[in-house]
């Protein structure tokens, strides 16, 4: 029908079907539709004692489907004219795949019910055009993260909880082929000599892979799904990530151009928080963003986005976050947002915060505000800057105004567990005061953490500034509350 998508090799000899164990049975042994129907009926009405047999049969069926799938996939690749596919519409392709599959199944003497055929067609479409078994997970909007530990174990994160999915790859080669497809699309390579890679999927999702032998039990893949609809401040308040009082305070802090650091562990919601906070930036300001993988989606009109890049295969062409940041300073920004500060760029970030780019923001990996300060100190030391500790601290103390702590709690919920202001220096010590915090009060039997947000009773160090800028926050937002929310 859509012969232009077929290679001109129609007359290829039809291969014998020996690669598929069950399908290698003679035609008469293939189950008839009635037999298949009986089997399905039987499995519905079976007694409890038959469960292991049924499980065994399901496994056999799954294995058989896998073998059929890999044979069909091979045939599809042999038959499809891949370069013509680029111009085909999805409907045309699906229809072509369905036709080729139907022909191949009949040549292979395999009978499948319509549900199996539909699943097979869909999976083969994903194999040819998409990312194979990962594709349905990528399309499922309720999934945040996909974590692959070798070909047979794919975990997904849904509503803050990790669960093992029933999706698997056929084998390590299959997994490696999909990894290769992803990384070659962005001009990278991953192999034994180059065993790990960062990339961005076509839909914007963040992708990291590490292959054997460095990954001991099979390739490791992590995908942070890109959400088109970012969580807004209102969403986050509604989900209980922070309180309305905290939102009011944060609005004043960002709008009056305090320098903010969002601190938190991995996957704790730092980028989401940073993105939501950026909504308080005025439209008249020029904002430059710098990230390793562009995830931020600012709503302002005047935004310049930069993405660092690793060296190419010859080890050349790297553009670091620091390079971007230094360049950004020459681009007349009002504010600079660095997706995550993790290395030598810390120096330039602190300098930018100290020299007229107030209102700059970044995230760091740390477990508390105090820990965040130590991380910054360590980053400065590791960047090879010879500076007395006191000088480093005074740089940090005057650059950073606010540390917002994001946490992923044991029950999977993500909350802003603390908002802390940096108030200055006392001797060699950076002084801070916590303004809001999440107070845990208990644990439900199902593991849900009980608690509420509260002020600490301390008024913001910046109250006068807020007032001068037109943000006259009621003093009551700082009050301690008990047992609410």
Binding residues for ligand ATP, per CB under 6 A? 144, 224, 227, 231, 236, 239, 241, 264, 266-272, 414
Nearest CB to Mg ion, comparing residues 23 and 270? 270
Give the count of beta carbons closer than 10 Å to the beta carbon of residue 23. 19
Binding mask 418-437 for Mg ion (x = CB under 5 A): --------------------
Instruction: Tell me if 98 contacts Mg ion by CB under 5 A.
Output: no
Residues 6+ apart with CB under 8 A from 260: 253, 254, 277, 360, 361, 401, 402, 403, 404
Of ligand ATP, Mg ion, none, which one does residue 454 interact with (CB within 5 to 8 Å by kind)? none
Could you tell me the smallest distance in angstroms from the CB atom of residue 293 to ligand ATP?
9
CB 143 within 8 A of CB 95: no
- Which of the choices ligand ATP, Mg ion, none does residue 372 contact, using the CB cut-off of 5 to 8 A by kind? none
* Shortest Cβ 366–Mg ion spacing (Å): 13
Q: Which one, 357 or 415, has the nearer CB to ligand ATP?
A: 415
Give Cβ neighbours of residue 358 (< 8 Å, ≥ 6 apart). 257, 258, 259, 335
Q: Is 341 in the site for Mg ion (CB under 5 A)?
A: no
Least Å distance, CB 210 to Mg ion, is: 19
Which residue is listed with tokens 């709690």? 409
> What burial letters (b/e) apply to 356-371, b meaning 16+ CB within 10 Å?
ebbbbbbbbbbebbee
Closer CB to Mg ion, residue 257 or residue 270?
270
Query: To the nearest whole angstrom, how small is the minimum distance from the Cβ of residue 320 to ligand ATP?
Result: 18
Q: In what order do the strands lie in the sheet with 154-158?
A: 161-164, 154-158, 143-149, 220-224, 206-210, 196-200
Out of ligand ATP, Mg ion, none, which partner does residue 36 contact, by CB within 5 to 8 A per kind? none
CA 362 to each of CA 301, 373, 400, 402: distance values in angstroms, whole numbers, following the listed order:
20, 13, 10, 11
Q: How far is the CB of 288 from ligand ATP (least distance, A)?
A: 19
Residue placing its CB nearer to ligand ATP in the complex, 145 or 377: 145
Q: Tell me whether residue 123 or residue 295 sits nearer to ligand ATP (CB atom).
A: 295
- Of 196 and 469, the one with the shorter C-beta distance to ligand ATP is 196
Q: What is the residue-wise DSSP string for 223-281?
A: EEPPPSSPPPHHHHHHTTSS-HHHHHHHHHHHHTT--EEEEESTTSSHHHHHHHHGGGS
Measured distance between the N- and C-terminal CA atoms of the chain, rounded to whole angstroms: 62
Residue nearest to ligand ATP (CB): 269
> Which of residues 133 and 269 has its CB atom nearest to Mg ion in the complex?
269
Residue 271 found at the interface with Mg ion (CB under 5 A): yes
* Closest residue by beta carbon to Mg ion: 271
462 binds, among Mg ion, ligand ATP, none (CB under 5 to 8 A by kind): none
Residue 309 DSSP class: B
Q: How far is the CB of 379 from Mg ion (least distance, A)?
A: 17
Residue closer to ligand ATP by CB (options 23, 224) is 224
Restricting to residues 303-322, which ones interact with Mg ion according to CB under 5 A? none
Which of ligand ATP, Mg ion, none lies near 200, with the C-beta cut-off 5 to 8 A by kind?
none
Question: Where do the DSSP E strands lie in 270-367?
Answer: 287-291, 303-307, 335-338, 361-365
Stretch of residues binding Mg ion (CB under 5 A), selected from 82-90, 267-275, 437-445, 460-468: 267-275
Q: 414 is in the binding site of which of Mg ion, ligand ATP, none (Cβ under 5 to 8 A by kind)?
A: ligand ATP
How far is residue 142 from each of residues 137, 156, 236, 360, 469, measured CA to CA in Å?
Answer: 9, 10, 16, 32, 40
User: CA-to-CA distance for 180 and 209, rounded, in angstroms?
Assistant: 10
Residue 6 is encoded by which pair of tokens?
Answer: 């077929």
CA distance 426 to 179: 52
Q: Which is nearer to ligand ATP, 169 or 438 (CB)?
A: 438
CA-based nearest residue to 190, from 151, 152, 220: 220
How does DSSP classify residue 352? H
Question: Closest distance between ligand ATP and the C-beta of residue 303, in Å?
Answer: 19
Nearest distance in Å: CB 227, ligand ATP: 5
The smaller minimum CB distance to Mg ion, of residues 145 and 171, is found at 145
- The closest alpha carbon to 277, from 318, 335, 225, belongs to 335
Please report how close the Cβ of residue 166 comes to ligand ATP at its closest, in angstroms.
Answer: 21
H or E stretch including 51? helix 51-79
Nearest approach, Cβ of 417 to Mg ion (angstroms)? 17
The nearest distance, CB 403 to ligand ATP, in angstroms, is: 14
Q: By C-beta, is 100 or 223 nearer to Mg ion?
A: 223
Dihedral sign of CA atoms 335, 338, 344, 350 in order = positive
The rounded distance, in Å, linking the Cα atoms of 85 and 94 is 11
Applying CB under 5 A, the residues found at the interface with Mg ion are 270-271
């Amino acid at each position: 029908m859509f012969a232009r998508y077929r290679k001109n090799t129609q007359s290829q000899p039809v291969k014998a079907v020996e690669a598929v164990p069950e399908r290698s049975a003679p035609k008469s042994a293939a189950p008839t539709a009635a037999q298949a129907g009986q089997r399905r009926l039987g499995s519905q009405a079976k007694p409890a004692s038959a469960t292991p047999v049924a499980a065994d049969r399901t496994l056999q069926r799954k294995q058989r489907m896998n073998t059929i799938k890999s044979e069909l996939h091979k045939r599809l690749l042999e038959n499809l004219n891949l370069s013509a596919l680029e111009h085909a519409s999805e409907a045309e392709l699906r229809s072509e795949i369905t036709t080729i599959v139907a022909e191949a199944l009949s040549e292979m003497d395999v009978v499948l019910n319509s549900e199996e055929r539909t699943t097979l067609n869909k999976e083969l479409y994903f194999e040819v055009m998409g990312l194979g078994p990962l594709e349905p997970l990528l399309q499922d909007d309720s999934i945040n993260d996909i974590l692959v530990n070798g070909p047979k174990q794919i975990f997904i994160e849904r509503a803050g909880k990790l669960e093992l999915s029933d999706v698997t790859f056929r084998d390590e080669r299959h997994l490696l082929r999909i990894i290769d497809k992803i990384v070659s699309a962005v001009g990278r390579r991953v192999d034994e000599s180059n065993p790990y890679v960062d990339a961005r999927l076509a839909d914007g999702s963040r992708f990291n892979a590490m292959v054997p032998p460095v990954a001991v039990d099979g390739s490791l893949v992590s995908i942070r799904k890109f959400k088109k609809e970012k969580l807004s401040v209102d969403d986050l308040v509604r989900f209980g990530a922070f309180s309305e009082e905290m939102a009011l305070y944060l609005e004043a802090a960002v709008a009056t151009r305090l320098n903010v650091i969002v601190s938190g562990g991995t996957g704790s919601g730092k980028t989401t928080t940073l993105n939501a906070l950026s909504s308080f930036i005025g439209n008249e300001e020029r904002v430059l963003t710098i990230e390793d993988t562009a995830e931020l989606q600012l709503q302002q009109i005047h935004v310049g986005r930069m993405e660092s890049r690793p060296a190419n295969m010859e080890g050349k062409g790297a553009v670091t976050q620091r390079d971007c940041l230094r360049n950004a300073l020459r681009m007349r920004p009002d504010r600079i947002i660095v997706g995550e500060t993790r290395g030598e760029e810390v120096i330039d970030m602190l300098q930018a915060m100290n020299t007229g780019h107030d209102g700059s923001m970044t995230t760091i990996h740390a477990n508390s505000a105090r820990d965040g300060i130590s991380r910054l100190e360590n980053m400065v030391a590791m960047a090879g800057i010879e500076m007395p500790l006191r000088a480093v601290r005074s740089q940090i103390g005057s650059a950073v105004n606010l540390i917002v702590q994001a946490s992923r709690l044991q029950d999977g919920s993500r909350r802003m567990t603390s908002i802390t202001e940096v108030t200055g220096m006392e001797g060699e010590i950076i002084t801070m005061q916590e303004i809001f915090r999440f107070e845990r009060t208990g644990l439900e039997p199902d593991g849900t953490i009980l608690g509420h947000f509260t002020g600490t009773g301390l008024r913001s160090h910046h109250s006068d500034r807020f007032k001068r800028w037109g943000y006259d926050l009621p003093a009551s937002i700082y009050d301690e509350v008990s047992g609410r929310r």
